[in-house]
Amino acid sequence: MKEKCGMSNKELAERSGVSLPTVNRIMSGQTDVPNYQTVCDLVMAMGGSLDEMAGIHKEAVTLHETSSEGYMAVIQDKSRIIAEKDRWIKRPFMISLALVVTFLTVLIYDYLHPVVGFIRR
């Protein structure tokens, strides 16, 4: 990932906020198990994702995903998901409203026509 983004260890340290000696030890393999937060900071500074590092997400992550276009794409995707959920919320509401209107219509008709229905005066 570091080679893909073309950063030096110094640039990576500056972007991630991780000290240069720590970056050097991790990149040279001297640290067997680096701190999770350190790895997270380094990956984010390179424009990657932890999913990609773990092999969960197979898509290539580019530096554009941390730019405004990447954020706009995520916002549009989330907006689409919210709109779809809104449709599923509106459907039961509209069905309930139709049932209430139908019930009230029958009740009013029944009240106004005492010979026909259940309500007798």
Q: What is the pLDDT of residues 35-53, one digit of tens each?
A: 888 888 888 888 887 777 7
> To which residue do tokens 């500056």 refer?
14
Q: What is the pLDDT of residues 85-100, one digit of tens each?
A: 998 899 999 999 999 9
Q: Are 42 and 26 in contact (CB under 8 A)?
A: yes
Alpha helices in the chain (DSSP H): 2-5, 9-16, 20-28, 36-45, 50-54, 68-112
Q: Tens of pLDDT along the chain (121 residues)?
A: 777 788 888 988 888 898 899 988 888 888 878 888 888 888 888 888 777 777 665 544 444 455 677 788 888 889 999 999 998 899 999 999 999 999 999 999 988 887 877 776 6
